[in-house]
């Protein structure tokens, strides 16, 4: 059974004091006492000390974006931007435009020049999440960039500029079967995994669950301006026994619901969701690539929808 420990509360206070309570990864450090997290923290330090490209692997929800941001903020590039682009679910042309930028008239709906993230992150870090979902055509373009540093915007006749960025890629997939099937380029894989970090699933570090629960309860109470509560030993034991297929991301969502719905100062077993008590996890959502519509050009509506403001890109 888990017992309340004053040193856990001290650790939570130290974590919260490092920045705002927005739960933005850049404002936190790794939360955990397990051996695997101590090893990971050391690996992040070593990765930050170099300027190699990095491949971060691990299940969905383990914190690959957090690890990428920590690498950036501990590196010599920390004063420059760090940007994230998720490759899953984006049409090929839109993903290429977001990464490399485009010129006016480069495709239907391109009403003005637009810089890509590789330009915007000059001297900083670009984190490409779910890189395993990228098409082989874009993999080739990314490989050319890694070899030369040249950025060619969509629709441009040649390279627009040379960008100095560090690339960190993340994936939940085992890329070796994709390489064997011809779905992922072996030469790109070799370049990306100069340095490789493997993030452990939450079910393999259950001793970290109480600390994570307490941190999230305090953080969400402050963020939503509700009463701060704590979890009982019985509740912590049930939460640690749950297999968490969605890992830390799933735990965070569950704890947010507990913080918002808490009627008492202590969260007990009766407050936990039914799937936690029954030990029947939800199946994790695996992102699937979206197949672009036939034809060499995307429609303007696709790009306008991603802009989010109704303003053509």
For residue 276, how many other CB atoms are within 10 A of its CB?
A: 19
Going by C-alpha positions, the residue among 69, 95, 51, 87 that lies closest to residue 287 is: 87
pLDDT-based confidence at residue 281 (cuts at 50, 70, 90): low
Q: How far is CA 181 from CA 144, 169, 265, 282, 284, in A?
A: 22, 20, 54, 30, 24
More confident residue, 148 or 313: 148
pLDDT interval class at 80 (50, 70, 90): very high
Number of H helices and number of E strands within the chain?
13, 11
Q: In this prediction, what percent of the chain has a pLDDT beyond 70?
A: 80
pLDDT for the residue 288: 53
CB atoms within 10 A of CB 303: 23
> Phi then psi for 89, rounded to 5 degrees?
85, 0
Q: Is residue 126 within 8 Å of 85, Cβ to Cβ?
A: yes
Q: If you classify domain 35-199+287-307 with CATH, what class do you get?
A: alpha beta
Name the class of domain 6-23+202-278: mainly alpha
DSSP 8-state symbol, 50: S
160 pLDDT higher than 90? no
pLDDT value at 23 more than 50: no
pLDDT at 5: 43
User: What are the domain boundaries of the chain?
Assistant: 6-23+202-278, 35-199+287-307
Q: What is the Rg, in whole angstroms, of the alpha carbon atoms belonging to the chain?
A: 21
pLDDT band at 71 (very low <50, low <70, confident <90, very high): very high
Q: How confident is the model at residue 213 (pLDDT cuts 50, 70, 90)?
A: very high
């Amino acid at each position: 059974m888990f017992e309340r420990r004053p040193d856990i509360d001290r650790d939570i206070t130290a974590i919260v004091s490092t920045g705002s309570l927005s739960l933005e990864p850049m404002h936190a450090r790794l939360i955990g006492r397990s051996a695997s997290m101590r090893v990971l923290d050391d690996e992040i330090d070593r990765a930050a000390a170099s300027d190699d490209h990095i491949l971060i692997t691990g299940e969905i929800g383990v914190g690959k974006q957090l690890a990428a941001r920590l690498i950036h903020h501990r590196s010599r590039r920390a004063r420059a931007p760090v940007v994230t682009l998720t490759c899953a679910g984006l049409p090929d042309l839109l993903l290429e435009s977001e990464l490399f930028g485009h010129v006016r008239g480069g495709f239907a709906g391109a009403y003005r020049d637009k810089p890509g993230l590789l330009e915007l992150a000059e001297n900083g870090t670009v984190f490409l999440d779910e890189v395993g979902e990228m098409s082989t055509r874009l993999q080739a373009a990314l490989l050319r960039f890694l070899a030369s540093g040249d950025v060619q915007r969509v629709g441009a006749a040649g390279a627009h500029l040379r960008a100095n960025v560090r690339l960190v890629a993340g994936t939940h997939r085992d890329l070796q079967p994709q390489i064997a099937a011809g779905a992922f380029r072996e030469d790109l894989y070799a370049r990306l995994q100069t340095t490789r970090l493997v993030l452990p699933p939450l079910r393999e570090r259950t001793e970290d669950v109480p600390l994570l629960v307490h941190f999230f309860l305090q953080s969400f109470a402050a963020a939503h301006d509700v009463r701060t509560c704590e979890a009982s030993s019985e509740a912590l034991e049930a939460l640690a026994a749950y297999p968490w297929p969605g890992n830390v991301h799933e735990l965070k969502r569950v704890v947010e619901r507990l913080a918002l719905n808490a009627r008492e100062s202590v969260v007990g077993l009766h407050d936990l969701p039914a799937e936690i008590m029954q030990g029947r996890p939800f199946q994790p959502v695996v992102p699937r690539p979206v197949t672009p519509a036939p034809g060499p050009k995307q429609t303007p509506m696709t790009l306008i929808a991603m802009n989010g403001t109704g303003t053509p890109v």
